[in-house]
Amino acid sequence: MDEPEILELDAQHTAVVRAALPVAELPTLFDRAYGAVFAALAAQGVAPVGMPFGFYPSMPGEVVEVEAGVVVACEIEPAGEVVPGWLPGGRVVRAVHVGPFEALQDTYAAVMAWMADHGLEPAVGMWEVYVTDPSVEPDPGRWRTEVYCPVA
């Protein structure tokens, strides 16, 4: 993990598929959701302005709430299971995870420890931006994922 940094972000429009499911089912959801999101955007003539992400509006437990999608420049029209959403603005801590998705929990733990060491309290909601496309880069050791944790 790279050294975390504090950023100030504007809220961003998103096109997402929302779900609540067991953590083990996330890969299947992401595959389905991104296909649906990109199809809906193409039908509306809207281009994504960022990489795919997963937004978690609450702390995961046995069941995780997630929004899987992309950032867009304007609000989209709902299309099937694809709906408009937002990534929150404000102060966030960002860290870059390098490695397989299965090791992301280690990066989250390190970010939470870094925040505590710097007197920062996490707010509700966090998200991951999947910088590396696993279909293009087959080596999980080279995958890059940005982790964003809002500051309370």
CA-nearest of 67, 56, 64 to 15 is 67
Measured CA to CA in angstroms, residue 14 lies from 19, 113, 137 at distances of 15, 29, 25
Is residue 112 helix, strand or coil?
helix
Provide the CATH number for the domain around residue 70: 3.20.80.10
pLDDT of residue 19: 96
* pLDDT, tens digit, 9 for 90 and up, residues 66-113: 999 999 999 999 999 999 999 999 999 999 999 998 899 999 999 999
In the structure, what pLDDT confidence band is assigned to residue 24 with cuts at 50, 70 and 90? Answer: confident
DSSP 42: H
Express as a percent the part of the chain with pLDDT over 90.
84
Gap between the Cα atoms of 15 and 17, Å rounded: 7
Q: Any idea how long the chain is?
A: 152
The pLDDT, as a whole number, for residue 38 is: 97
Please state the domain count of the chain: 1
Q: What is the mean pLDDT of residues 37-57?
A: 96
Query: Furthest-apart CA pair in the chain: how many Å?
Result: 47
- Round the average pLDDT of the chain to a whole number and report it: 94
Domain that holds residue 128: 5-150
Q: Using 50, 70 and 90 to split pLDDT, how confident is the model at 27?
A: confident
| Residue 51, pLDDT score | 94
pLDDT value for 2: 75
Would you say residue 60 has pLDDT above 80? no
